Structure 1
């Protein structure tokens, strides 16, 4: 009986020891698993952070820039078969190359350009766009890359000799352009708006308007291609062109300004302009 009691006591002690060992093992396993899981989670979070950082760096160094323009404004932008070419297109391509990015150009109505940039549909617009205070309220402009002027196209023999003679006349302009904006100041002016600059010029040749207010460089092209038209010696306004980006996008603005400076300093920008502006 005593032997049995001893045997039972030994058995109980062994069970207690095994239970205690089992509990310790379970605790150690849980502790180890938790620590490894936490460590793995931390590594995953760190890796995700590195991925995000890498993505941001990749976006800054590569990827695609979307430009919107109105390709009805030679020599700054126009269609050559299926391609959009011109001064702005070449400058934008040169800027994208310096930023290590691919350029995509989309064509749309001029008055849709700034809204496209504001909404994020496009990264920037380059469209022979004049820098003015109204536009500065909606977008940020790069450093200027061209000096320009609004001029007046009339028929040979027209009684219109200077900007002051536009009072009370029918004036053709391209919708949303600087010419459209400034023509609104003409006293008693009857402003006729067209989607394309060429349409305004055609209206002039057909006698539907008395004059067209438009940028100097495309005006040279239109006059060269349409006999019987001329540009008045006195400019309507003087202005500057720049690229517009979404307001507050300082990173893109600074990179584009740096690229524009390089293009100016190297003489490449002037070579682009000289390539397209041949009409005198």
Structure 2
């Protein structure tokens, strides 16, 4: 079955904001159904963002819909993967507090994050984006500059490793680029996929060179290996499917080799 035909169900998933699956089920919940709640920060196109109709869209959203179909078929249980919107830096806190089951929001590996990590599902990198006409042409030119990065993201780590840089941590990526356009910062340090989205607007340029070479993962509470094993099965099947390359092409993301 071509599960890509069913990723339109992502809109229905995104519209439903419910509590953690670990909460007691009410009488309306079937014994043959299972809910997995997902923390997502919808300011990170092309991974996840909101349309003008407040609908969640993006690669991660479509991937979760694919996972839902796969688990339902493989386990004979009706799965519902449901999203809860929050700031990126709050997702891990919500996982640790059992308010959500997993986080899918363009996460890249950081050994200091106390979570369980899935297998990777996308290649990526941390790169620098500057306003058009900037004199910054390479990573070396970032020394001593004003840099902006998302709070809690590995881009923040990469920015702080630039010699003499003045780093501003900003919660929302959209605010980063608003500030960059207003020349509040010299450069933004963001995920490669995100950088491509903003460069496509025609207002920004991505400079040559990577600050960090990375991959994207799903995260869960430390010790919750059961759900990570389930997600890893989904990732393995997803990557082996034709839908994986189709979605990578659609969202201009780099597939794993």
Same fold (TM over 0.5): yes
TM-score, structure 2 normalization: 0.80
CA distance in 2, matches of 1:83, 1:156: 31
- Larger strand percent: 2
| Cα distance between partner residues in 1 of 2:88 and 2:183 | 25
Change (3 A) 1:275 1:59: farther
Alignment match, 2:21: none
> 1:65–1:96: 8 Å Cα contact kept in structure 2?
no
2: distance between equivalents of 1:254 and 1:244?
11
CA deviations on 1:208-246 (whole Å, 9 max, x unpaired) are 11111101111111121242x200121221101000011
Question: Which of 81, 85, 92 matches 1:107?
Answer: 85
The answer to which structure has the higher helix fraction is 1
Alignment of structure 1 residues 78-93 onto 2, 5 Å: 78-80=49-51, 81-93=53-65
Alignment of 1:45-64 (within 5 A): 62-64=33-35
Q: What secondary structure, in the 3-state scheme, does the structure 2 residue paired with 1:248 have?
A: coil
Counting only pairs closer than 5 Å after superposition, residues 42-191 of structure 1 correspond to structure 2 as 62-80=33-51, 81-100=53-72, 101-135=79-113, 138-191=114-167
TM-score (norm. length: structure 1): 0.74
Q: Residues of 2 paired with 1:188 and 1:262: CA distance?
A: 45
- 1:223 is aligned to 199
Is residue 89–residue 171 contact of structure 2 (8 Å, CA) maintained in 1?
A: no
Distance 1:158 1:140, change over 3 A: same
Larger Rg: 1
| 1:47-67 Cα distance to aligned partner (Å, 9 max, x none) | xxxxxxxxxxx9996321100
Gap regions ≥5 residues in structure 1: 1-57
Which protein, 1 or 2, shows the higher relative CO under an 8 Å CA cutoff with sep ≥ 6? Answer: 2
- Confirm or deny that 1:248 pairs with 2:223: yes
How far apart, in 2, do the equivalents of 1:59 and 1:128 lie?
A: 32
Between the aligned partners of 1:126 and 1:177, the Cα distance in structure 2 is 13
Q: How far apart are the structure 2 equivalents of 1:125 and 1:88?
A: 10
Give the Cα separation in 2 of the matches to 1:64 and 1:207: 44
Change (3 A) 1:153 1:71: same
Q: CA RMSD in A?
A: 1.8
The count of corresponding residues between Structure 1 and Structure 2 is: 218
Offset of residue 191 of structure 1: 0.8
Deviation at 1:142, TM superposition (A): 0.8
The CA distance in 2 between the partners of 1:193 and 1:184, in whole Å, is: 10
Task: Give the aligned partner of residue 209 of structure 1.
Answer: 185
